[in-house]
Structure 1
Amino acid sequence: MTSLSDSARAGVPGTPSPVVSVKPVTLEAPGRGADLQVRISAPTTGSALPVIVFSHGYGSSLEGYGPLTDHWAGHGFVVVQPTHLDSRTVGLAQDDPRTARLWRLRVADLKRVLDRLDVLEAAVPGLSGRVDRDRVAAAGHSFGGQTAGNLLGLRVLDPVSGAGEDLSDPRIKAGVLLATAGRGGADLTPFAAEHFPFLNPSFAHMTTPALVITGDRDDSPLTVRGPEWTADPYHLSPGAKSLLTLFGAEHSLGGIAGYEVRETTDEHPGRVALIQRFTRAYLRHALGVEDAGWTAAKKELAQSATPLGRFVSRPGLAA
Structure 2
Amino acid sequence: MTESINRADAASAPVPVLSVSPVALSAPDRAVDLEMRVSAPMTGDGLPVILLSHGQGHSNHLSSLNGYAPLVNYWAAHGFVVIQPTHLSSATLSLDPATPGAPLYWRSRAEDMKRVLDRLDEVEAAVPQLRGRLDRGRVAVAGHSMGGHTASLLLGARLTDPDDGSEVNLFEPRIKAGILLATTGRGGDALTEAVAESFPFLLTTDFSEMTTPTLVVAGDKDDSAHLTVNGPDWHADPYVLAPAPKALLTLFGGEHGLGGVSGYDVAETTDESPERVAAVQRLTSAYLRTALYPGDSARKAAWDELAAEAHPFGRIETK
TM-score class normalised by the smaller sequence: over 0.9
Q: Secondary structure at the match of 1:104?
A: helix
Match of 2:100 in 1: 97
Q: Give a deviation string over 1:56-89, Cα, whole Å, max 9, x none.
A: 0025000000000110000000000000011111
Q: Secondary structure at the match of 1:11?
A: helix
Match of 1:29 in 2: 27
Does the Cα contact within 8 Å between 1:149 and 1:206 map onto a contact in 2?
yes
Q: How far off its partner does 1:121 sit? A: 1.7
1:131 pairs with 2:134: yes
Unaligned runs of 5+ residues in structure 1 are 315-319
Q: Distance in 1 between matches of 2:119 and 2:100?
A: 27
| TM score, norm. by length of structure 1 | 0.94
- The percent identity for this pair of structures is 58
Does the Cα contact within 8 Å between 1:21 and 1:41 map onto a contact in 2?
yes
Q: Distance in 2 between matches of 1:37 and 1:103?
A: 17
Q: How far off its partner does 1:6 sit? A: 1.6
Q: Distance in 1 between matches of 2:75 and 2:98?
A: 37
Match of 2:11 in 1: 12
Does the Cα contact within 8 Å between 2:15 and 2:43 map onto a contact in 1?
yes
Matching residue within 231, 239, 243 for 2:236: 231
Q: Secondary structure at the match of 2:20?
A: strand
Q: Distance in 1 between matches of 2:98 and 2:161?
A: 21
Unaligned runs of 5+ residues in structure 2 are 58-62
Q: How far off its partner does 1:280 sit? A: 0.5
1:291 pairs with 2:296: yes
- Report the RMSD for the aligned CA atoms in angstroms: 1.6
Q: Give a deviation string over 1:219-268, Cα, whole Å, max 9, x none.
A: 11110000000000000001200000000010000000000112211100
Matching residue within 249, 254, 257 for 2:254: 249
Q: Distance in 1 between matches of 2:195 and 2:125?
A: 42
Consecutive aligned runs of 4 or more in structure 1 exceeding 4 Å deviation = 159-163
Task: Flag the 1:205–1:173 CA change in 2: closer, same or farther, 3 A.
Answer: same
Q: Secondary structure at the match of 1:53?
A: strand
Task: Flag the 1:5–1:47 CA change in 2: closer, same or farther, 3 A.
Answer: farther
1:208 pairs with 2:248: no
Q: How far off its partner does 1:159 sit? A: 4.9
1:181 pairs with 2:184: yes
Structure that is richer in helix per residue: 2
Q: How far off its partner does 1:31 sit? A: 1.8
Aligned residues: 311
Q: Secondary structure at the match of 2:179?
A: strand
Matching residue within 149, 164, 167 for 2:167: 164
Q: How far off its partner does 1:103 sit? A: 0.2
Match of 2:60 in 1: none
Does the Cα contact within 8 Å between 1:13 and 1:293 map onto a contact in 2?
no
- Residue identity matched to 2:11: V
